[in-house]
């Protein structure tokens, strides 16, 4: 499967992705039991968040996986696992999409270090910056073959100053860097 990177616009091959308070599309949610098991993991519906929440390993870290069910088409466990595996298998692609869209990010971080806004031992390199990145959470909008997801990137040390970077990935694995949030 060939992966395409987009840094603006939306895929024409999938339903339009709309970013609004955690909604991937305006499709109605499908009612699901409050607790579901995918693999060996229990996903529990969090009424406050409006998602089923569980934890899986992403980029070698325990990571929250949030699920919104828009369809029960297909094997839900396989669909969710495929998306999380894609994130794990395409770390470099995801990071490159972010860096290409935010080509001045490391310079901005180094300026914040120089002026004392951000505490660090000294300027950082691209390698150091990339090593600091991790996935804070993955939100998957389960919709059969139209399933897409968000990845919220974070950094440790906190180079994003309390913010997260939203990366949208559609059902054909086209990446759109959505920008900073939080």
CB 158 within 8 Å of CB 124: no
The predicted-structure confidence for 64-119, as pLDDT tens digits, reads as follows 999 999 999 999 999 999 999 999 999 999 999 999 999 999 999 999 999 999 99
3-class secondary-structure state, position 92: helix
Q: How many CB atoms lie within 10 A of CB 116?
A: 7
pLDDT of 26 reads: 56
């Amino acid at each position: 499967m060939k992966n395409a990177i987009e840094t603006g616009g939306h895929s024409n091959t999938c339903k339009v992705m709309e970013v609004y308070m955690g909604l991937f599309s305006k499709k109605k949610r499908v009612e699901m039991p409050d607790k579901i098991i995918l693999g060996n993991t229990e996903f529990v519906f969090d009424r406050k968040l409006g998602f089923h929440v569980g934890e899986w390993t992403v980029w070698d870290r325990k990571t929250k996986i949030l699920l919104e069910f828009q369809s029960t088409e297909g094997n839900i466990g396989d669909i969710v696992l495929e998306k999380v595996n894609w994130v794990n298998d395409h770390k470099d692609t995801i990071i490159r999409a972010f860096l290409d869209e935010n080509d001045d990010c490391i310079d901005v971080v180094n300026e914040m270090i120089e002026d004392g806004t951000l505490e660090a031992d000294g300027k950082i390199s691209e390698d150091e910056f990339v090593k600091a990145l991790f996935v804070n959470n993955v939100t998957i909008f389960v919709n059969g073959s139209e399933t897409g997801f968000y990845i919220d990137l974070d950094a440790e040390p906190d180079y994003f100053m309390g913010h997260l970077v939203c990366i949208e990935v559609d059902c054909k694995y086209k990446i759109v860097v959505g920008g900073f949030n939080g």
